[in-house]
């Protein structure tokens, strides 16, 4: 018998709220079975949820997470892994650019601060 999870099982195990799980379900990223009002999540849903949470931690958008989930193939996930590696490289490049932008902004702040201090030194108190 396949392993299944209730929404509270997943929330507890992955340390997220049931509301977050329902949000991802509303976005079409999870597809639990229904037994009346009860949601029954599969092992695949759990893997998808882990991928979403990992993607969020490293700055992926929901669309990027969805793309990776859609590439999942239980017989072999080479294409999914290649796409994930490409997205990791893209994210690294974005972060490198953000670091350069921050360094440039810090230099501009330093210059503005120096000018303010010099101007204040010339104005009588």
pLDDT, tens only, 91-113: 999 999 999 999 999 999 999 99
Q: pLDDT tens across 49-60, in order?
A: 999 999 999 999
- pLDDT at position 123, please? 83
| Nearest Cα residue to 74 out of 48, 53, 39, 40 | 48
**What is the pTM (predicted TM-score) of this model?**
0.75
| Virtual torsion, Cα 40, 36, 27, 47, nearest 10 deg | 0
- pLDDT at position 1, please? 57
- pLDDT at position 72, please? 79
* Percent helix, strand and coil across the chain, each to the nearest 5: 70, 10, 25
| Architecture of the structural domain at 1-70 | Orthogonal Bundle (1.10)
For the chain, the structural domain boundaries read 1-70, 75-125
Give the three-state DSSP class for 115. helix
Which parts of the chain sit beneath pLDDT 70?
1-2
């Amino acid at each position: 018998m396949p392993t299944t999870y209730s929404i509270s099982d997943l929330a507890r195990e992955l340390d997220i709220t049931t509301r977050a799980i329902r949000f991802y379900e509303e976005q079409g990223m999870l597809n639990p079975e229904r037994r009346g009002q009860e949601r029954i999540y599969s092992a695949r849903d759990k893997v998808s949820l882990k991928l979403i949470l990992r993607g969020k931690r490293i700055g992926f958008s929901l669309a990027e997470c969805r793309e990776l989930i859609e590439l999942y193939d239980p017989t072999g996930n080479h294409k999914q892994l290649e796409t994930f590696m490409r997205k990791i490289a893209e994210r690294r490049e974005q972060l490198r650019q953000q670091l350069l932008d921050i360094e440039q902004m810090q230099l501009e702040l330093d210059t503005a601060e120096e000018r303010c201090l010099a101007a204040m030194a010339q104005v009588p108190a």
